[in-house]
Structure 1
Amino acid sequence: MATILESLLGSCANKLKDIITNEAILILGVEEELAELLRRVELIRCCIYDAEKRRTKELAVNNWLGQLRDVIYDVDEMLDMARCKGSKLLPDHPSSSSSKLAACKCLSISSCFCYIGSRRDVAVQIRILNKKIENISKDKIFLTLNSSTQPTGKGSTSKLIRSSNLVEPNLVGKEIIHSSRKLVDLILAHKESKSYKLAIVGTGGVGKTTLAQKIYNDQKVKRSFRQQAWVCVSQDYSEVTLLKEVLRNIGVHHEQGETIAELQRKVAETINGKSFLLVLDDVWYYHSS
């Protein structure tokens, strides 16, 4: 059963893999630092399932997961910042003052300082986050976790922790409270509709996932929907993978090699006649219809 934090870690790892070879990152020269960050994220990701199983019974584990969640949000925000700063140094960017920004050679003094300053800012942020994740991985809680993967769906799923059971982050501020309440009311107002779609859009790092998690965990929402599923989409995805994730979230077993049509039929049969809330996190593209 996929959890929100597990999805966040997966999304973060995928984003790191994608961005390391991005031109906007290569021009900053921080790919080695990002590769180290990716290695640490992948290391922690291997043990996240064991931590999720223990969080409801062990306060220390729950606190450790809270620290991890906060750092992952910071990593996501840093990646967007790095991409933005690097893009401005590319030759074809409107704000670029040179067609040869691969190095300071042949650049104006102002462009050279811009390059050095951007690289320094990003490198410092990566170094800070690497240190935070290193400390998390050295914590005695992490050292007690077992490296394991989730069950494939065979056998009982009653012991799996649903993402709706996650302890939500401590969201503060009148704006976030007002927004979450407004969106909860909007969702519940359309509950009887055959289908209703709601999008939370914005630049990376502004808190879209955090807001969605607060709505997902809202008690009124939990009482109103018989089935809930949280699926992380990310950039590289397939319909088969998404359908399998939905089935895992709602506790339905699927066989290897099942077609899209077979998986769709299983989802349809399971949610038929039931109120069902599906959250698709980290969606990069959409097709208007």
Structure 2
Amino acid sequence: MAMILQAFVGNISSRLTKMAADEVGMLLGIPGQIEKLVNTVRDIQCVLSDAERKQINSSAIQRWLMELKDVMYDADDLIDTWQIKTEDCVSSSKFSSSVSLISSFNKTKFAHEIGTKIKELNSRLEEISKKKSDLGLNELLEDVRPFKYPRSNSDISLKTDPSIVLADIVGDKIEEDTELLVKWLTTEEKGVTENVNVFVVVGMPGIGKTTLAKKVFNDLRIQEEFHLKFWVCVSKDLKGAELLKCIIREAGGCHGAAEERSELVPMLKRLVRGKKFFLVLDDVWPESQNVWDGLLRDAMIGGARGSRLLVTTRDGNVARFMNATTTHSVEKLSDEDAWSLLIKQIKTKQRGNIDNA
């Protein structure tokens, strides 16, 4: 049973990851809940191979697998409900205005119902996940998790692709925030003696910090202003050497067989010396807040005057610990903008289904 369940759990995990990436939690008014669900599912997914081996001699593990299966069926039904109801909403309002769309679809009731069920799933899965250790279930070598959302557990994520689907960006607020950040980043501040200034974007999980940072990163004015541009996603438990190697590669260098900080820091120093750079550290947690002063500052302070570090974080204390020059808080989308984003996502999916037919 565990092998079949493992495939089923993997499918649910992928579908939830897509919902998290589409910021569905923000649209439902439950930011962070879907991401939390994804992480718990993936934690459980990592011990299923061990559960497959041990279930034959353990009735407790068999019961645990049955309990997990029930929750996964409920999760599958929930995802189907979300997709069917939203697609029906768009289909029935094809020729209506956005105002009539909102009035024809009881968003508040729907969001409350789905949001409540997602929170309940989180509670049930957390209880299941807690039982892993008691049952002696362990991660096996073949249980490799290719992706974590929202990159909150072990190891640094070396994702360096700041690409964004601009068609999915909606609303005046993100345009205003982009303009404000670009202006801050490209304007020389008076009385600042450091070559590199730190700017921090703060907001709750799923609210759009990374989307905003990507839009800023890809702005033509930013592309023209800076000689070097880097994008790195950071996790709780930072491995400094891996981060250094990643930035060295992004700067066009080659770290070769170097593994120690004492070797990597001088390499990075040489690469950025005298050059105006723009570095984005995405999703910095309090556990990694010394990534600048404790690791990168010595290596990159030799960059040209006007170099910038942009940090996204869910914790406002990170800005204080990183001695940020400026902090910007990301607010929720308006109801109208949230609906516009939802409709864009559904129509994109519908077009994809047609193309694949």
User: TM-score scaled to structure 2, two decimals?
Assistant: 0.40
Larger RCO: 1 or 2 (CA < 8 Å, sep 6+): 1
The answer to which structure has the higher strand fraction is 2
| Bigger CA radius of gyration | 2
User: TM-score scaled to structure 1, two decimals?
Assistant: 0.48
